[in-house]
Structure 1
């Protein structure tokens, strides 16, 4: 499978955009239907909230994707959520069942980099020109994992020694927030790199001297998404969530 750069919308979408919404809003979009392969994937999730969140996330990814594209392009394009197709591709094994997601407008050759995350009942979606590497993630400040303190399982597992040294210098409230922010950034880097958290380099290092190589990319953009910050469509990120967007533009971006 070969991606075609989204030349038709390059003028409007020359940098990453992001949007957020509650997963519960999917119920207000009964006109958005998932493809058979997506429904098959949904069947692999545990019945109840895990399966419902997957389906709602796919619906809201189309809704927010259409909103961002209509925001970026000249008036009159009128892209609908049902016009969009979510695909995945793994360059390591050529599988379309997993891997880096893309957003396509079938029949147009227009392809966009896509990344999304579901956390605490919310969806975060990032959209960018199709020839770059994009990753987004959300973290819940109220998640107990970020408030367990020094020696907690997440602290030992997720943060490099130089990151832990910096965390130890902060008051606990600031430390909790930075743990969450760095975790969102680590996830975003892992997605943008295509390696995931289980890549050969391990969990990305995002502070100190041993930064993940992606963070040295030319033209790199990193957006810290703070609580109550406004997304590209004017919606507010909830006060208990922090997020991160990482975009490394392609050679023609």
Structure 2
């Protein structure tokens, strides 16, 4: 009898740890707080928008002041020319042309577009470097023998021809002159020609000049030196008639 009653009696309810486990499994989990990540993302996006607007406004302001920026740049550039190694007559002519351009730009009705065109052409023109090429020429004349002297003068003349044609820019000429220059923070250009010059460095300059001439498909011949003030005059006229690049 007792065994029958035990079989028919209902199962006892779970108790203790088992009951707690069952209760946890059926309860809804608590929602976690989002934390600071959304705020950080929003702040980053906001800062990006502000920076974009600031850059846009700054660019617009500078765009409207192109002539003023050009005048300030040219005033400083006159000082660079005054300390250059250009022949005195060419230096004087270059400075006069720059000062005339500055005076014209200071007029209230001077077109902003023309100021941009003038600067686009001037920044490409290696005016101070033109005088440094004269120093290289003089070294070749005085220190190299016949065949090497003739080839050196020819390659430098080809580089000048490339400058005259607008094919070689200030970047090209600075690279050609690199073996013969050294840093000088007191000079407006930030570097000067080494003193004294060394023959091996000049040979490196000649080789670099040859590469520029070959790149621009110039004839392998000597070209007459065109004064830099004449090249400048042509570029200033082109800026007015044709605009920039």
Q: TM-score, normalised by structure 1?
A: 0.24
Structure richer in strand, relative to its length: 1
Q: Which has the larger radius of gyration?
A: 2
Structure richer in helix, relative to its length: 2
